[in-house]
């Protein structure tokens, strides 16, 4: 087989890249080791920056997003039992939208299938070869048959545990890694959300977040130990802890209980590799970086990467040179590190660190108080939360 761009991974990054290339008249083949059902049904975070919504809209894949997405013009920071609203729209003129990552994936798969271009699920033994040549290759097996795809470019959009990043020779990438001393226990409950906007709560027992997937599905998170056993968290214990950490000083209890449909524990980690390119292989999304979920930047960063990469590939294949490809890593990393800083800041400000240091607690409360009482402080949070400029 022969194509212009071989794309490993059918998550938001790989699928959006394939769609943008199609709109530019560039051929691609998408390979995914998981089944279509798995990638469409896996529940992931779903807070979209204004820029992400704009990119999907411009690409013609946002009709359902605009019908079903929940637009948020603000968020609440809650500490010492009191809530403080950050007016995102008033401060920046922008907003965010709640729309599940799996819904974005469904829309992009539908768009890909409508083009008739190749999209292969459940492939095995995927490997990339000849990355430093002008004719890199991808090999895999499918249904017991071995395949080889010759490309001009390979896009590694296969996530943190994919094969593309490890295929780069040792010593050519520099990794920046930070593990946090806590994790998130997340649940999806068949219950109305606690509020029509997100609530980020700093409590002496640990962080809590109240968000939603729809008007009838609540998504809630609790800070827990990184080695926590999910079996130790009964439904009663989860609800009790949510009531406590999201409690208001005026006694009003906003947490509404319902059947817990899913529960799981997510580690907190920051990770970046530099550069995001080796020869004709270009990394994007989680293959190159992950962020703690506090700042809601994961999928948004992946889509920002793809916007830069797609434009560079369009210039390359239309004879306008390789300058964009040569600059891709630096351009993407400039935004990635700003998002890492914001995610680290939000995480550090809202979570209880081991030992319950009284000094640390006082500093966190002072930081929250400053953000909520200063227009400059609130603006810093708001402009990062809705998404920094894409250019």
- Strand 174-189 to 199-202 pairing: unpaired
Provide the CB-side half-sphere exposure for 71 (13 A, CA).
9
CA distance from start to end of the chain:
36
Structure tokens at 1: 């087989």
Integer Cα distance of 70 and 47 in angstroms: 9
- Asked if residues 31 and 123 have their Cβ atoms less than 8 Å apart, the reply is yes
By residue count, the chain amounts to 391
- Asked if residues 82 and 367 have their Cβ atoms less than 8 Å apart, the reply is no
- Strand 218-224 to 124-129 pairing: unpaired
For residue 330, the tally of other CB atoms under 10 A from its CB is 13
Which DSSP string do the residues of 282-307 spell out, in sequence order?
EE-GGGTEE--GGG--HHHHHHHHHH
Name the residues annotated as catalytic.
Answer: 72, 200, 293, 297, 385
| Integer CA distances (angstroms), 159 to 103, 185, 280, in order | 18, 22, 18
- Asked if residues 257 and 242 have their Cβ atoms less than 8 Å apart, the reply is no
Residue carrying the six token digits 């008007």:
215
């Amino acid at each position: 087989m022969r194509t212009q761009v071989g794309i490993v991974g059918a998550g938001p990054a790989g699928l959006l890249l394939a769609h943008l290339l199609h709109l530019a008249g560039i051929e691609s083949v998408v390979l995914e080791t998981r089944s279509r059902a798995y990638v469409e049904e896996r529940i992931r975070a779903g807070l979209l920056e204004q820029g992400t919504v704009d990119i999907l809209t411009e690409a013609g894949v946002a009709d359902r997003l605009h019908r079903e997405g929940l637009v948020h013009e603000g968020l609440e920071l809650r500490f010492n039992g009191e809530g403080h609203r950050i007016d995102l729209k008033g401060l920046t003129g922008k907003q965010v939208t709640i729309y599940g990552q799996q819904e974005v994936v469904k829309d992009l798969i539908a768009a890909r299938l409508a083009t008739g271009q190749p999209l292969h699920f459940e492939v095995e033994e995927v490997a990339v070869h000849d990355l430093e040549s002008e004719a890199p290759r991808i090999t895999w097996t499918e249904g017991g048959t071995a395949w080889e795809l010759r490309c001009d470019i390979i896009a590694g959009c296969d996530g943190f545990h994919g094969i593309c990043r490890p295929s780069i020779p040792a010593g050519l990438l520099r990794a920046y890694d930070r593990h946090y001393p806590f994790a998130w226990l997340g649940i999806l409950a068949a219950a109305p959300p606690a509020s029509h906007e997100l609530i980020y709560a700093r409590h002496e027992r640990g962080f809590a977040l109240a968000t939603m997937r729809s008007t009838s599905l609540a998504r809630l998170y609790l800070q827990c130990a990184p080695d926590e056993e999910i079996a130790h968290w009964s439904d009663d214990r989860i609800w009790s802890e949510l009531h406590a950490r999201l409690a208001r000083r005026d006694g009003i209890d906003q947490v509404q209980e319902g059947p817990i449909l899913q529960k799981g524990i997510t580690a907190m980690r920051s990770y970046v590799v530099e550069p995001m390119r080796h020869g004709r292989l270009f990394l994007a999304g989680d293959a190159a970086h992950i962020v703690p979920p506090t700042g809601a930047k994961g999928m948004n960063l992946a889509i920002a990467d793809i916007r830069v990469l797609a434009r560079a590939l369009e210039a390359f294949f239309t004879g306008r040179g390789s300058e964009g490809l040569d600059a891709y890593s630096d351009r993407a990393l400039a935004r990635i590190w700003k998002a890492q800083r914001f995610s680290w800041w939000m995480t550090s400000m809202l979570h209880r660190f081991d030992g319950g240091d009284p000094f640390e607690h006082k500093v966190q409360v002072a930081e929250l108080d400053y953000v909520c009482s200063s227009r400059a402080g609130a603006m810093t949070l708001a402009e990062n939360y809705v998404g920094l400029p894409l250019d």
